[in-house]
Amino acid sequence: MFNENIYKARRKEFVSRMQALGAEGVAVFLGNGEAAMNYSSNSYRFRQDSSFVYFWGIDEPGFAASINLSNGKECIYADDVDIDDIIWMGPQPTVLDKAGKAGVDKVSKYADFDTAVRFALQNDIPVHFLPSGRYFNRMKMAELTGSTAAQVYKTAPYDEADYVHSSLEMVKAVVSMRLVKDDAEIAELDHACDMGVQMHTIGRNGCRLGALERDLAGAMDAFAATKGWGVSFPTILSQNGQILHGHDHSGVITEGRLLLIDAGLTLDSYYCSDFTRTLPSSGKFTTMQREIYDIVESCNEFAFNMVAPGVSYRDVHLATCRHMLCGLKDLGLVNGDTDVMLAEGIAGMFMPHGLGHNMGLDVHDMEDYGENYVGYDEDQQRASQLGLGSLRMARKLVPGNVITDEPGIYFIPALWEYFRKNGLDKGFVNFDKLQAYADFGGIRLEDDILVTENGARHLGTTRLPIKSAEVEDAMKQ
What residues line the site for a copy of itself (CB under 8 A)? 35-45, 47, 49-50, 83, 86-91, 133-136, 138-139, 143, 148-149, 153, 155, 214-215, 217-219, 221-223, 225-226, 233-234, 240, 242-246, 248, 270, 352, 361-364, 366-368, 412, 414-415, 418
Determine how β-strand 265-266 pairs with β-strand 230-231. antiparallel
- Which CB atom, from 218 or from 399, has the smaller least distance to a copy of itself? 218
Which one, 248 or 473, has the nearer CB to a copy of itself?
248
Q: How many whole angstroms separate alpha carbon 2 and alpha carbon 260? A: 36
Whether residue 85 contacts residue 53, with contact meaning beta carbons closer than 8 Å, is answered with no
Q: How far apart are CA 176 and CA 14, in angstroms?
A: 9
Q: How far apart are CA 347 and CA 343, in angstroms?
A: 9
Nearest Cα to 122, choosing from 148, 146, 151? Answer: 146
Give phi and psi for 354, each to the nearest 5. -80, 165
> Distance between CA atoms of 13 and 15, rounded to whole angstroms?
5
Distance CA(358)–CA(31), nearest Å, equals 22
The DSSP result for 220-288, as a single string, is HHHHHHHHSSEESSPPEEES-TTSTT------B--TT-EEEEEE-EE-TT--B--EEEEEETTSS--HH
What would you measure as the largest C-alpha separation in the chain, in angstroms? 74
Give the nearer residue to a copy of itself in terms of CB position, either 220 or 299. Answer: 220
Q: How far is the CB of 41 from a copy of itself (least distance, A)?
A: 7
Distance CA 355, CA 351 (A): 9
- Own/partner pairs, 55-58, CB within 8 angstroms, 24+ separation: 55/7, 55/10, 55/11, 55/14, 55/29, 56/7, 56/29, 56/31, 56/102, 56/104, 57/1, 57/2, 57/4, 57/7, 57/101, 57/102, 58/31, 58/98, 58/99, 58/101, 58/102
C-alpha span between 36 and 44 (Å, rounded): 6
Is there a contact between 250 and 30 (Cβ–Cβ < 8 Å)? no
- Shortest Å distance, C-beta 25 to a copy of itself: 26
Judged by CB, which is closer to a copy of itself: 280, or 352?
Answer: 352
